[in-house]
Structure 1
Amino acid sequence: MKKISIIPILLLLPAYIVVAQTKGAMEMKPEMTEIWDPEVPIVKSGKTLSEPPTDAIILFDGSDLSKEWTNSKGEKPTWKVENGCLTVLKGAGDIKTKRVFEDCQLHIEWRSPEKVEGEGQGRGNSGILLQERYEIQVLDSYNNRTYRNGQAASIYKQYAPLVNVCKAPGEWQTYDIIYTAPRFKDDGTFFTPPMITVIHNGVVVQNHVKLRGPTLYIGIPEYAVKKHGAAALVLQDHGNPVSFRNIWIRKL
Protein backbone atom coordinates (compact mmCIF):
# COMPACT_ATOMS: atom_id res chain seq x y z
CA MET A 1 0.00 0.00 0.00
CA LYS A 2 1.37 3.42 -1.00
CA LYS A 3 2.04 5.82 1.90
CA ILE A 4 0.59 9.34 1.66
CA SER A 5 2.69 12.14 3.13
CA ILE A 6 0.75 14.58 5.30
CA ILE A 7 3.46 17.25 5.12
CA PRO A 8 1.99 19.03 2.06
CA ILE A 9 -1.41 19.06 3.78
CA LEU A 10 0.06 20.61 6.91
CA LEU A 11 1.83 23.23 4.83
CA LEU A 12 -1.45 24.17 3.17
CA LEU A 13 -3.43 24.33 6.45
CA PRO A 14 -2.47 27.91 7.49
CA ALA A 15 -3.46 29.22 4.06
CA TYR A 16 -6.78 27.41 4.35
CA ILE A 17 -7.44 29.00 7.78
CA VAL A 18 -6.67 32.48 6.44
CA VAL A 19 -9.02 31.95 3.50
CA ALA A 20 -11.75 30.66 5.84
CA GLN A 21 -11.34 33.63 8.19
CA THR A 22 -11.41 36.09 5.30
CA LYS A 23 -14.51 34.44 3.91
CA GLY A 24 -16.18 34.64 7.34
CA ALA A 25 -15.31 38.33 7.64
CA MET A 26 -16.68 39.05 4.20
CA GLU A 27 -19.96 37.46 5.23
CA MET A 28 -20.39 39.84 8.20
CA LYS A 29 -23.18 42.40 7.88
CA PRO A 30 -23.20 45.89 9.47
CA GLU A 31 -26.22 45.15 11.65
CA MET A 32 -24.34 42.30 13.33
CA THR A 33 -22.31 44.83 15.32
CA GLU A 34 -25.08 47.38 15.94
CA ILE A 35 -26.52 47.67 19.47
CA TRP A 36 -29.96 49.30 19.64
CA ASP A 37 -31.35 48.50 23.09
CA PRO A 38 -31.56 49.78 25.70
CA GLU A 39 -31.69 53.25 24.20
CA VAL A 40 -29.27 55.83 25.65
CA PRO A 41 -31.21 58.06 28.13
CA ILE A 42 -31.66 61.70 27.20
CA VAL A 43 -30.20 64.40 29.45
CA LYS A 44 -30.39 68.09 28.56
CA SER A 45 -27.20 70.01 29.24
CA GLY A 46 -27.10 73.52 30.66
CA LYS A 47 -26.74 76.57 28.45
CA THR A 48 -23.17 76.95 29.71
CA LEU A 49 -20.67 74.46 31.14
CA SER A 50 -21.37 75.85 34.63
CA GLU A 51 -25.12 75.29 34.47
CA PRO A 52 -26.34 71.91 35.72
CA PRO A 53 -27.75 69.30 33.33
CA THR A 54 -31.25 68.03 33.94
CA ASP A 55 -30.15 64.94 35.88
CA ALA A 56 -27.92 66.85 38.33
CA ILE A 57 -28.57 67.09 42.06
CA ILE A 58 -28.37 70.73 43.13
CA LEU A 59 -26.39 70.78 46.37
CA PHE A 60 -26.32 74.56 46.75
CA ASP A 61 -28.38 77.00 44.70
CA GLY A 62 -27.25 80.17 46.43
CA SER A 63 -30.02 80.40 49.01
CA ASP A 64 -30.60 77.26 51.07
CA LEU A 65 -27.88 75.34 52.88
CA SER A 66 -29.89 73.37 55.42
CA LYS A 67 -31.76 71.22 52.88
CA GLU A 68 -28.70 69.34 51.61
CA TRP A 69 -26.01 70.03 54.22
CA THR A 70 -25.21 69.39 57.86
CA ASN A 71 -22.24 69.93 60.12
CA SER A 72 -20.05 67.10 61.39
CA LYS A 73 -22.39 66.61 64.37
CA GLY A 74 -25.50 66.24 62.20
CA GLU A 75 -26.73 69.69 63.16
CA LYS A 76 -27.69 72.73 61.09
CA PRO A 77 -24.54 74.21 59.53
CA THR A 78 -23.60 77.76 60.49
CA TRP A 79 -21.53 78.84 57.50
CA LYS A 80 -22.50 82.26 56.17
CA VAL A 81 -24.95 82.33 53.23
CA GLU A 82 -25.10 85.71 51.49
CA ASN A 83 -25.28 87.11 47.95
CA GLY A 84 -25.70 83.68 46.40
CA CYS A 85 -22.66 82.06 47.99
CA LEU A 86 -21.68 80.31 51.20
CA THR A 87 -18.57 81.24 53.12
CA VAL A 88 -16.55 79.41 55.73
CA LEU A 89 -16.94 80.83 59.22
CA LYS A 90 -13.79 80.20 61.23
CA GLY A 91 -14.45 77.69 63.96
CA ALA A 92 -17.80 76.57 62.52
CA GLY A 93 -16.28 73.26 61.43
CA ASP A 94 -16.58 71.24 58.25
CA ILE A 95 -19.91 70.77 56.51
CA LYS A 96 -21.03 67.68 54.61
CA THR A 97 -23.89 66.56 52.41
CA LYS A 98 -26.80 64.65 53.86
CA ARG A 99 -26.73 62.42 50.78
CA VAL A 100 -23.95 59.95 50.13
CA PHE A 101 -22.15 59.34 46.85
CA GLU A 102 -19.73 57.02 45.09
CA ASP A 103 -18.93 57.48 41.34
CA CYS A 104 -19.87 61.04 40.40
CA GLN A 105 -19.33 64.19 38.37
CA LEU A 106 -19.02 67.25 40.60
CA HIS A 107 -19.13 70.93 39.66
CA ILE A 108 -18.17 73.49 42.28
CA GLU A 109 -17.10 77.12 42.15
CA TRP A 110 -14.90 78.71 44.81
CA ARG A 111 -13.25 82.01 45.65
CA SER A 112 -10.36 82.83 47.95
CA PRO A 113 -10.60 86.11 49.93
CA GLU A 114 -9.82 89.25 47.95
CA LYS A 115 -7.86 90.61 50.90
CA VAL A 116 -4.66 88.60 51.02
CA GLU A 117 -3.68 87.42 54.47
CA GLY A 118 -1.03 84.86 55.30
CA GLU A 119 1.13 82.82 52.97
CA GLY A 120 1.68 79.24 51.89
CA GLN A 121 -0.92 76.92 53.41
CA GLY A 122 -2.33 79.79 55.48
CA ARG A 123 -3.76 81.66 52.50
CA GLY A 124 -7.27 80.86 51.25
CA ASN A 125 -7.12 77.27 52.46
CA SER A 126 -10.08 74.87 52.30
CA GLY A 127 -10.70 71.50 50.71
CA ILE A 128 -13.23 69.26 48.99
CA LEU A 129 -13.32 65.70 50.29
CA LEU A 130 -14.91 62.95 48.21
CA GLN A 131 -16.40 60.11 50.25
CA GLU A 132 -15.26 62.07 53.32
CA ARG A 133 -11.62 61.01 52.87
CA TYR A 134 -10.07 61.92 49.47
CA GLU A 135 -9.21 65.64 49.34
CA ILE A 136 -8.88 68.01 46.40
CA GLN A 137 -7.08 71.03 47.78
CA VAL A 138 -8.56 74.52 47.68
CA LEU A 139 -5.91 77.20 48.17
CA ASP A 140 -4.96 80.64 46.92
CA SER A 141 -2.03 79.55 44.76
CA TYR A 142 -1.78 82.81 42.82
CA ASN A 143 1.82 83.98 43.37
CA ASN A 144 1.87 81.92 46.55
CA ARG A 145 4.57 79.24 46.77
CA THR A 146 4.00 76.14 48.88
CA TYR A 147 4.77 72.42 48.55
CA ARG A 148 3.63 71.31 45.09
CA ASN A 149 1.38 68.47 46.26
CA GLY A 150 -0.42 70.88 48.58
CA GLN A 151 -1.24 73.73 46.22
CA ALA A 152 -4.62 74.43 44.61
CA ALA A 153 -6.07 71.50 42.60
CA SER A 154 -3.62 69.03 44.09
CA ILE A 155 -4.84 65.68 45.36
CA TYR A 156 -3.57 66.66 48.76
CA LYS A 157 -0.19 65.15 49.67
CA GLN A 158 -0.38 62.74 46.69
CA TYR A 159 -0.50 64.45 43.30
CA ALA A 160 0.52 67.97 42.30
CA PRO A 161 -1.58 69.56 39.53
CA LEU A 162 -0.11 69.34 36.04
CA VAL A 163 -0.17 73.15 35.81
CA ASN A 164 -1.12 76.08 38.03
CA VAL A 165 -4.12 77.95 36.58
CA CYS A 166 -5.16 79.72 39.77
CA LYS A 167 -6.86 83.09 39.33
CA ALA A 168 -6.13 86.16 41.43
CA PRO A 169 -7.56 86.44 44.94
CA GLY A 170 -11.24 87.42 44.93
CA GLU A 171 -11.96 85.91 41.49
CA TRP A 172 -14.33 82.97 41.09
CA GLN A 173 -12.79 79.68 40.01
CA THR A 174 -14.26 76.34 38.92
CA TYR A 175 -13.51 72.72 39.62
CA ASP A 176 -15.10 70.03 37.49
CA ILE A 177 -14.29 66.68 39.03
CA ILE A 178 -14.91 63.18 37.65
CA TYR A 179 -14.56 60.59 40.38
CA THR A 180 -14.52 56.80 40.35
CA ALA A 181 -14.94 55.37 43.83
CA PRO A 182 -12.74 52.49 45.01
CA ARG A 183 -13.77 48.85 44.98
CA PHE A 184 -12.41 46.56 47.66
CA LYS A 185 -11.22 43.01 48.15
CA ASP A 186 -12.59 40.95 51.04
CA ASP A 187 -9.50 41.75 53.10
CA GLY A 188 -10.22 45.50 52.89
CA THR A 189 -7.46 46.41 50.43
CA PHE A 190 -8.15 48.06 47.09
CA PHE A 191 -9.35 45.88 44.21
CA THR A 192 -9.35 49.10 42.17
CA PRO A 193 -8.25 52.38 43.84
CA PRO A 194 -10.19 55.66 43.71
CA MET A 195 -9.50 57.62 40.52
CA ILE A 196 -9.90 61.35 40.00
CA THR A 197 -9.87 63.75 37.07
CA VAL A 198 -9.87 67.48 37.88
CA ILE A 199 -10.53 70.30 35.43
CA HIS A 200 -9.55 73.65 36.98
CA ASN A 201 -10.88 76.74 35.20
CA GLY A 202 -11.35 74.69 32.04
CA VAL A 203 -7.86 73.13 32.12
CA VAL A 204 -7.16 69.46 32.91
CA VAL A 205 -4.84 69.43 35.93
CA GLN A 206 -5.39 65.85 37.20
CA ASN A 207 -5.72 63.23 34.47
CA HIS A 208 -7.46 60.13 35.84
CA VAL A 209 -4.94 59.69 38.65
CA LYS A 210 -5.07 56.62 40.92
CA LEU A 211 -5.04 57.47 44.61
CA ARG A 212 -2.77 55.51 46.92
CA GLY A 213 -5.21 55.80 49.81
CA PRO A 214 -7.14 58.37 51.85
CA THR A 215 -5.81 61.87 52.47
CA LEU A 216 -3.40 62.13 55.39
CA TYR A 217 -1.60 65.18 56.73
CA ILE A 218 1.03 62.94 58.30
CA GLY A 219 1.80 59.42 57.14
CA ILE A 220 1.65 57.08 54.16
CA PRO A 221 -1.78 56.76 52.44
CA GLU A 222 -1.47 53.00 51.80
CA TYR A 223 -1.26 52.30 55.53
CA ALA A 224 -4.67 53.88 56.15
CA VAL A 225 -6.75 52.07 53.49
CA LYS A 226 -9.99 50.73 54.98
CA LYS A 227 -12.97 49.20 53.22
CA HIS A 228 -15.92 51.60 52.97
CA GLY A 229 -19.01 52.35 50.93
CA ALA A 230 -20.81 55.48 49.77
CA ALA A 231 -20.12 58.58 51.88
CA ALA A 232 -20.77 62.31 51.97
CA LEU A 233 -19.11 65.18 50.14
CA VAL A 234 -17.29 67.41 52.64
CA LEU A 235 -16.26 71.07 52.47
CA GLN A 236 -13.47 71.91 54.87
CA ASP A 237 -13.16 74.66 57.45
CA HIS A 238 -9.44 75.45 57.54
CA GLY A 239 -9.83 78.80 59.24
CA ASN A 240 -9.90 80.93 56.07
CA PRO A 241 -13.06 82.67 54.73
CA VAL A 242 -13.21 80.79 51.41
CA SER A 243 -16.52 81.05 49.52
CA PHE A 244 -18.41 78.51 47.39
CA ARG A 245 -21.34 78.65 44.98
CA ASN A 246 -23.12 76.75 42.20
CA ILE A 247 -22.52 73.25 43.57
CA TRP A 248 -24.09 70.35 41.68
CA ILE A 249 -23.37 66.68 41.30
CA ARG A 250 -24.33 63.79 39.03
CA LYS A 251 -24.24 60.16 40.09
CA LEU A 252 -22.43 58.05 37.50
Structure 2
Amino acid sequence: MKKVYLSICCISASFLVSAEKKIDPKLTEQWSPIPEIITPSPIPSDAIVLFDGQSTYNLEHSDGSKVKWNVENGALTVEPGTKGIFSKEKFCDMQLHVEWKSPKKISGKKGQQLGNSGLYIQGRYEVQILDSYQNQTYANGQAGSIYKQSAPLVNAMKPTGQWQTYDIIYHAPKFNGTELTTPANITVLHNGILVQDHYILKGGTVYRGQPAYKAHGCDRLLLQDHNDKVSFRNIWARKL
Protein backbone atom coordinates (compact mmCIF):
# COMPACT_ATOMS: atom_id res chain seq x y z
CA MET A 1 0.00 0.00 0.00
CA LYS A 2 2.84 2.38 0.82
CA LYS A 3 4.36 1.91 -2.65
CA VAL A 4 1.00 2.61 -4.32
CA TYR A 5 0.46 5.70 -2.14
CA LEU A 6 3.94 7.02 -2.97
CA SER A 7 3.33 6.44 -6.66
CA ILE A 8 0.06 8.38 -6.55
CA CYS A 9 1.78 11.25 -4.70
CA CYS A 10 4.58 11.36 -7.26
CA ILE A 11 2.09 11.35 -10.15
CA SER A 12 0.08 14.16 -8.51
CA ALA A 13 3.19 16.27 -7.89
CA SER A 14 4.37 15.69 -11.45
CA PHE A 15 0.95 16.70 -12.79
CA LEU A 16 0.96 19.94 -10.75
CA VAL A 17 4.46 20.88 -11.92
CA SER A 18 3.45 20.20 -15.52
CA ALA A 19 0.27 22.30 -15.09
CA GLU A 20 2.19 25.19 -13.56
CA LYS A 21 4.61 25.24 -16.49
CA LYS A 22 1.68 25.89 -18.81
CA ILE A 23 0.76 29.11 -16.94
CA ASP A 24 2.14 32.18 -18.68
CA PRO A 25 4.30 34.06 -16.09
CA LYS A 26 3.42 37.33 -17.82
CA LEU A 27 -0.09 37.05 -16.41
CA THR A 28 1.25 38.12 -13.01
CA GLU A 29 3.65 40.83 -14.21
CA GLN A 30 2.61 44.41 -13.42
CA TRP A 31 4.11 46.99 -15.79
CA SER A 32 2.05 50.04 -14.97
CA PRO A 33 1.75 52.42 -13.34
CA ILE A 34 5.52 52.88 -13.13
CA PRO A 35 6.65 53.90 -9.59
CA GLU A 36 7.92 57.44 -9.33
CA ILE A 37 11.71 57.73 -9.01
CA ILE A 38 12.75 59.19 -5.63
CA THR A 39 16.36 59.98 -4.81
CA PRO A 40 17.30 58.06 -1.63
CA SER A 41 19.29 60.65 0.30
CA PRO A 42 19.14 61.74 3.96
CA ILE A 43 16.21 63.90 2.85
CA PRO A 44 14.17 62.19 0.10
CA SER A 45 13.81 64.24 -3.07
CA ASP A 46 10.01 64.42 -2.71
CA ALA A 47 10.06 65.49 0.96
CA ILE A 48 8.68 68.77 2.26
CA VAL A 49 11.42 70.22 4.45
CA LEU A 50 9.95 71.90 7.52
CA PHE A 51 13.25 72.79 9.17
CA ASP A 52 16.66 72.47 7.49
CA GLY A 53 18.82 73.81 10.31
CA GLN A 54 18.51 77.43 9.27
CA SER A 55 15.20 78.60 7.87
CA THR A 56 11.88 78.55 9.73
CA TYR A 57 10.03 79.76 6.64
CA ASN A 58 7.76 76.69 6.57
CA LEU A 59 6.84 77.09 10.25
CA GLU A 60 4.76 79.61 12.16
CA HIS A 61 2.92 80.22 15.42
CA SER A 62 -0.83 79.57 15.55
CA ASP A 63 -1.63 83.20 14.75
CA GLY A 64 0.57 83.15 11.64
CA SER A 65 3.41 85.12 13.23
CA LYS A 66 7.09 84.36 12.65
CA VAL A 67 8.73 81.68 14.78
CA LYS A 68 10.08 83.05 18.07
CA TRP A 69 12.06 79.94 18.99
CA ASN A 70 15.86 80.10 18.86
CA VAL A 71 17.81 78.92 15.81
CA GLU A 72 21.46 78.19 16.53
CA ASN A 73 24.03 75.64 15.34
CA GLY A 74 21.53 73.93 13.08
CA ALA A 75 18.97 73.42 15.84
CA LEU A 76 15.59 74.97 16.60
CA THR A 77 15.06 75.28 20.37
CA VAL A 78 11.87 76.04 22.26
CA GLU A 79 11.75 79.53 23.76
CA PRO A 80 9.51 78.88 26.78
CA GLY A 81 6.39 80.99 26.88
CA THR A 82 6.25 81.74 23.15
CA LYS A 83 3.80 78.85 22.49
CA GLY A 84 3.99 76.03 19.98
CA ILE A 85 4.81 76.24 16.31
CA PHE A 86 2.93 74.76 13.35
CA SER A 87 3.85 73.68 9.87
CA LYS A 88 2.32 75.94 7.24
CA GLU A 89 1.66 72.85 5.15
CA LYS A 90 -1.30 70.61 5.96
CA PHE A 91 -0.95 66.84 5.91
CA CYS A 92 -3.13 63.75 5.80
CA ASP A 93 -1.30 60.43 5.30
CA MET A 94 2.40 61.04 5.78
CA GLN A 95 5.91 59.79 6.45
CA LEU A 96 7.59 62.04 9.01
CA HIS A 97 11.16 62.39 10.22
CA VAL A 98 12.02 64.46 13.30
CA GLU A 99 15.21 64.69 15.35
CA TRP A 100 15.03 66.12 18.87
CA LYS A 101 17.19 66.58 21.94
CA SER A 102 16.36 67.06 25.60
CA PRO A 103 18.13 69.78 27.62
CA LYS A 104 20.37 68.88 30.57
CA LYS A 105 18.62 67.39 33.56
CA ILE A 106 17.67 69.87 36.28
CA SER A 107 18.22 68.87 39.90
CA GLY A 108 14.95 68.32 41.73
CA LYS A 109 12.90 67.78 38.59
CA LYS A 110 11.70 64.41 37.39
CA GLY A 111 9.00 62.63 35.41
CA GLN A 112 6.98 64.91 33.16
CA GLN A 113 9.10 67.89 34.25
CA LEU A 114 12.15 66.83 32.23
CA GLY A 115 12.50 67.68 28.53
CA ASN A 116 8.77 67.77 27.89
CA SER A 117 7.40 68.64 24.48
CA GLY A 118 5.14 66.92 22.01
CA LEU A 119 4.78 66.19 18.34
CA TYR A 120 1.12 66.64 17.37
CA ILE A 121 0.22 65.08 14.04
CA GLN A 122 -2.65 66.93 12.37
CA GLY A 123 -2.52 69.17 15.43
CA ARG A 124 -4.39 66.50 17.46
CA TYR A 125 -2.57 63.22 17.89
CA GLU A 126 0.48 63.48 20.15
CA VAL A 127 3.64 61.44 19.96
CA GLN A 128 5.24 62.27 23.29
CA ILE A 129 8.64 63.93 23.54
CA LEU A 130 10.23 63.61 26.98
CA ASP A 131 13.58 62.93 28.60
CA SER A 132 12.90 59.26 29.37
CA TYR A 133 16.52 58.34 29.99
CA GLN A 134 16.72 57.10 33.60
CA ASN A 135 13.59 59.11 34.35
CA GLN A 136 10.51 57.17 35.45
CA THR A 137 6.98 58.32 34.66
CA TYR A 138 3.70 56.71 33.61
CA ALA A 139 4.35 54.37 30.69
CA ASN A 140 1.87 55.95 28.28
CA GLY A 141 3.43 59.35 28.95
CA GLN A 142 7.10 58.58 28.29
CA ALA A 143 9.02 59.20 25.08
CA GLY A 144 7.74 57.11 22.20
CA SER A 145 4.23 56.88 23.61
CA ILE A 146 1.05 57.99 21.94
CA TYR A 147 0.33 60.27 24.85
CA LYS A 148 -2.20 58.85 27.33
CA GLN A 149 -3.14 56.12 24.83
CA SER A 150 -0.33 53.69 24.05
CA ALA A 151 2.94 53.02 25.88
CA PRO A 152 5.99 52.35 23.67
CA LEU A 153 6.94 48.72 23.12
CA VAL A 154 10.40 49.49 24.53
CA ASN A 155 12.31 52.47 25.93
CA ALA A 156 14.75 53.34 23.11
CA MET A 157 16.17 56.53 24.63
CA LYS A 158 19.75 57.60 24.15
CA PRO A 159 21.36 59.45 27.09
CA THR A 160 20.12 62.93 27.93
CA GLY A 161 21.61 65.58 25.64
CA GLN A 162 22.06 63.26 22.66
CA TRP A 163 19.98 63.60 19.50
CA GLN A 164 16.97 61.30 19.28
CA THR A 165 15.17 60.33 16.07
CA TYR A 166 11.53 59.65 15.31
CA ASP A 167 10.52 58.07 12.00
CA ILE A 168 6.77 57.89 11.69
CA ILE A 169 4.28 56.42 9.24
CA TYR A 170 0.83 57.87 9.79
CA HIS A 171 -2.51 57.25 8.12
CA ALA A 172 -5.18 59.83 8.83
CA PRO A 173 -8.71 58.98 9.96
CA LYS A 174 -11.52 59.07 7.43
CA PHE A 175 -14.95 60.52 7.99
CA ASN A 176 -18.29 60.49 6.23
CA GLY A 177 -19.60 63.87 7.28
CA THR A 178 -19.24 63.83 11.07
CA GLU A 179 -19.13 60.03 11.28
CA LEU A 180 -15.81 58.21 11.68
CA THR A 181 -15.44 55.49 9.07
CA THR A 182 -11.75 54.56 9.52
CA PRO A 183 -9.65 55.46 12.59
CA ALA A 184 -6.11 56.79 12.29
CA ASN A 185 -3.14 54.47 12.69
CA ILE A 186 0.50 55.15 13.40
CA THR A 187 3.84 53.35 13.35
CA VAL A 188 6.78 54.93 15.20
CA LEU A 189 10.47 54.07 15.18
CA HIS A 190 12.49 55.70 17.94
CA ASN A 191 16.21 55.74 17.13
CA GLY A 192 15.53 53.06 14.52
CA ILE A 193 13.67 50.80 16.97
CA LEU A 194 9.98 49.99 16.58
CA VAL A 195 8.03 51.43 19.52
CA GLN A 196 4.51 51.75 18.02
CA ASP A 197 3.41 49.04 15.62
CA HIS A 198 0.44 50.17 13.50
CA TYR A 199 -1.33 51.47 16.60
CA ILE A 200 -5.01 52.36 16.04
CA LEU A 201 -5.63 55.73 17.64
CA LYS A 202 -8.68 56.10 19.88
CA GLY A 203 -9.10 59.79 19.08
CA GLY A 204 -7.46 63.13 19.70
CA THR A 205 -5.02 63.53 22.58
CA VAL A 206 -6.50 64.71 25.88
CA TYR A 207 -4.88 65.15 29.29
CA ARG A 208 -8.03 64.25 31.23
CA GLY A 209 -10.71 61.76 30.28
CA GLN A 210 -11.02 59.52 27.26
CA PRO A 211 -9.95 60.40 23.69
CA ALA A 212 -12.60 60.81 21.01
CA TYR A 213 -12.71 61.69 17.34
CA LYS A 214 -14.07 64.89 15.87
CA ALA A 215 -14.30 65.10 12.09
CA HIS A 216 -11.51 67.02 10.38
CA GLY A 217 -9.53 67.21 7.18
CA CYS A 218 -5.82 67.45 6.46
CA ASP A 219 -4.13 69.62 9.07
CA ARG A 220 -0.85 71.01 10.34
CA LEU A 221 1.95 69.46 12.35
CA LEU A 222 2.47 71.04 15.80
CA LEU A 223 5.63 71.16 17.93
CA GLN A 224 4.67 71.89 21.52
CA ASP A 225 6.05 74.54 23.85
CA HIS A 226 5.84 72.84 27.27
CA ASN A 227 8.24 75.31 28.92
CA ASP A 228 11.31 73.07 28.43
CA LYS A 229 14.14 73.96 26.06
CA VAL A 230 13.82 70.95 23.79
CA SER A 231 15.71 71.25 20.49
CA PHE A 232 14.75 70.03 17.01
CA ARG A 233 16.53 69.54 13.69
CA ASN A 234 16.11 67.79 10.33
CA ILE A 235 12.32 67.90 10.16
CA TRP A 236 10.81 66.69 6.91
CA ALA A 237 7.67 64.95 5.73
CA ARG A 238 6.43 63.06 2.67
CA LYS A 239 2.80 63.01 1.70
CA LEU A 240 1.60 59.47 1.06
Alignment of 1:39-118 (within 5 A): 39-46=34-41, 51-65=42-56, 67-117=57-107, 118=109
Task: Report SS of the residue matched to 2:118.
Answer: strand
> Residue 238 in 1 paired to residue 226 in 2?
yes
Partner residue in 2 for 1:151: 142
Per-residue CA deviations over 1:75-116 (Å, capped at 9, x if unaligned) read 112001111000001100010011100100000100000243
Q: Output the CA distance in 1 between the equivalents of 2:115 and 2:34.
A: 46
Asked whether the equivalents of residues 101 and 232 of structure 2 are also in contact (C-alpha less than 8 Å), the reply is yes
In structure 1, list runs of 5 or more residues that go unmatched. 1-21
Q: Output the CA distance in 1 between the equivalents of 2:128 and 2:179.
A: 25
Per-residue CA deviations over 1:16-56 (Å, capped at 9, x if unaligned) read xxxxxx9987653111111101111111111xxxx111111
Asked whether the equivalents of residues 153 and 195 of structure 2 are also in contact (C-alpha less than 8 Å), the reply is yes
Task: Report SS of the residue matched to 1:100.
Answer: strand
> Residue 213 in 1 paired to residue 203 in 2?
yes
In structure 2, list runs of 5 or more residues that go unmatched. 1-16
Q: Output the CA distance in 2 between the equivalents of 1:116 and 1:189.
A: 46
Asked whether the equivalents of residues 105 and 114 of structure 2 are also in contact (C-alpha less than 8 Å), the reply is no
Partner residue in 1 for 2:181: 191
Task: Report SS of the residue matched to 1:232.
Answer: strand
Task: Report SS of the residue matched to 1:143.
Answer: coil
Q: Output the CA distance in 2 between the equivalents of 1:161 and 1:189.
A: 29
TM normalised by structure 1 equals 0.85
Q: Percent identity?
A: 53
Asked whether the equivalents of residues 90 and 122 of structure 2 are also in contact (C-alpha less than 8 Å), the reply is yes
Task: Report SS of the residue matched to 2:149.
Answer: coil
Q: Output the CA distance in 2 between the equivalents of 1:83 and 1:168.
A: 20
TM normalised by structure 2 equals 0.89
> Residue 203 in 1 paired to residue 198 in 2?
no
Structure with more of its chain in strand, by fraction:
2
Per-residue CA deviations over 1:147-204 (Å, capped at 9, x if unaligned) read 0000001000000000001111111010000000011133x23211110000000100
Asked whether the equivalents of residues 88 and 240 of structure 1 are also in contact (C-alpha less than 8 Å), the reply is yes
- Residue correspondences, number: 224
Asked whether the equivalents of residues 116 and 169 of structure 1 are also in contact (C-alpha less than 8 Å), the reply is no
Per-residue CA deviations over 1:115-165 (Å, capped at 9, x if unaligned) read 435211010000000000000000000111100000001000000000001
Q: Output the CA distance in 1 between the equivalents of 2:31 and 2:88.
A: 38
Q: Output the CA distance in 2 between the equivalents of 1:115 and 1:184.
A: 43
